[in-house]
């Protein structure tokens, strides 16, 4: 009986705190990140570059990881022009040993990372059964497994100093399935589950570490070939998403949908019959969009997979 009563009491306290927070102006909720070291994966372009530039506006010291050396140099140049400080490293985040080595190098050359933004991601557009195996592996390795390595690389120091924030860029696809990007949806659902469970574990252990899951709709011109994927809802601008991400980080928000109006669709998903979700998919998604890869024969897959690893 006491356990049930305790559950109700603490539940009401949590709800009351959340309601009270709604009436506090956002500017009073924001923490100062000036001078903090923030690492962004996939920072050579797209949303990653926009996040790096937005962090600089808030006077953070930026570190970017990517496999694209040219893109890294371009981002660093833009940040320098903006008057910011940026360090760039080539790092294949699929390789845990390389992640750990580069993390140690960052500690030696830059300092302790207090903000980690897991942004790097890939997408395969096409029917699941026609998607080559190596591309399915790549989706899981980059979109979710890599986050295990980056978190393991930087979280221990955050815990030791009792200060840190981990941001993971998920997607609206982490809340609802979508045809023709099946493996992407699976990986983004995993991201949301990973960060939510990690935050609960950190809270139960008494660590003052925050996490934020950012779930944006389609962002145009990010190199992910999604510009023609949506029919009804307009795609987003990477700069806008980046700024909302940094504001959410500064306000210690846990779950953020961009745009916020998509909450209606997520709620409807759970209260409406399955036929509603099917109808919604038909009207929102351009199901006839072409694949962003060339289907290959089964006999050729091993060769392509080996080439991709080199």
| 3-class DSSP state of 57 | helix
Q: State yes or no: pLDDT of 121 exceeds 50.
A: yes
Domains of the chain in sequence order: 30-303 (3.40.50.720)
pLDDT tens, 43-80?
A: 999 999 999 999 999 999 999 999 999 999 999 999 99
Banded pLDDT at 299 (limits 50, 70, 90): very low
Q: What pLDDT, on a 0 to 100 scale, did the predictor assign at position 197?
A: 97
Between 19 and 126, the more confident residue is: 126
Q: By percentage, how much of the chain surpasses pLDDT 70? A: 78
Per the listing, tokens 């045809």 go with 179
d(CA 75, CA 296): 34
- C-alpha distances (whole Å) from 5 to each of 8, 9, 11, 155, 182 are 5, 6, 10, 35, 42
Which residues face 206 on adjacent strands?
none
The whole-model pTM stands at 0.86
What is the average pLDDT across 115-133?
A: 93
What is the average pLDDT across 179-193?
A: 94
Q: How many helices (H) and strands (E) does the chain have?
A: 12, 7
Q: Note whether 64 and 86 are within 8 A (CB).
A: yes
d(CA 54, CA 52): 5
pLDDT tens, 236-285?
A: 889 999 999 999 999 999 999 998 888 887 888 888 888 877 877 776 76
Q: Catalytic site residue 184?
A: yes
Encoding tokens for residue 107?
A: 């500690």
Q: Note whether 191 and 198 are within 8 A (CB).
A: no
Q: State yes or no: pLDDT of 148 exceeds 90.
A: yes
Q: State yes or no: pLDDT of 306 exceeds 80.
A: no
Query: Given 184, 217, 287, 293, which residue is catalytic?
Result: 184
Encoding tokens for residue 291?
A: 């694949």
Q: What pLDDT, on a 0 to 100 scale, did the predictor assign at position 221?
A: 62
Encoding tokens for residue 245?
A: 């991400």
CA-angle at 36, arms to 35 and 39, nearest 5°: 130
What is the average pLDDT across 90-101?
A: 97
- C-alpha distances (whole Å) from 164 to each of 5, 31, 52, 84, 210 are 34, 12, 17, 21, 6
Torsion of CA 230, 236, 183, 287, to 10 degrees: 10
- C-alpha distances (whole Å) from 157 to each of 32, 113, 151 are 20, 8, 10
Helix crossing, 146-161 with 96-109: angle to 10°? Answer: 40
């Amino acid at each position: 009986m006491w356990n049930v009563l305790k559950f109700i009491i603490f539940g009401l306290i949590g709800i009351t705190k959340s309601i009270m927070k709604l009436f506090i102006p956002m500017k009073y909720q924001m923490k100062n990140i000036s001078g903090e070291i923030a690492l962004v994966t996939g920072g050579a372009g797209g949303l990653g570059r926009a996040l790096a530039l937005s962090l600089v506006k808030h006077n953070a010291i930026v570190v970017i990881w990517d496999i694209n050396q040219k893109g890294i140099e371009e981002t660093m140049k833009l940040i320098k022009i903006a008057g910011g400080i940026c360090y760039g490293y080539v790092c294949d985040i699929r390789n845990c040993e390389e992640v750990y080595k580069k993390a140690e190098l960052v500690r030696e050359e830059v300092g302790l990372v207090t903000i980690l933004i897991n942004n790097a991601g890939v997408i395969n557009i096409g029917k699941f059964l026609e998607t080559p195996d190596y591309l399915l592996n790549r989706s899981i390795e980059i979109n979710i497994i890599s986050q295990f390595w980056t978190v393991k690389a930087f979280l221990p120091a955050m815990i030791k100093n009792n200060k840190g924030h981990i941001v993971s860029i998920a997607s609206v696809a982490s809340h609802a399935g979508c045809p023709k990007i099946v493996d992407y949806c699976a990986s983004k659902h995993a991201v949301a589950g990973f960060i939510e469970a990690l935050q609960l574990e950190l809270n139960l252990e008494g660590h003052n570490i925050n996490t934020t899951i950012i779930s944006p709709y389609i962002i145009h011109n990010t190199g992910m070939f999604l510009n023609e994927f949506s029919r009804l809802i307009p795609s987003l601008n990477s700069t806008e998403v980046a700024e909302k991400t940094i504001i959410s980080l500064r306000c210690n928000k846990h779950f953020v949908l961009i745009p916020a109006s998509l909450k209606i669709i997520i709620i409807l998903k759970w209260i409406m019959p399955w036929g509603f979700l099917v109808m919604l998919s038909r009207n929102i998604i351009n199901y006839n969009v072409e694949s962003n890869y060339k289907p290959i024969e089964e006999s050729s897959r091993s060769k392509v997979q080996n080439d991709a690893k080199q």
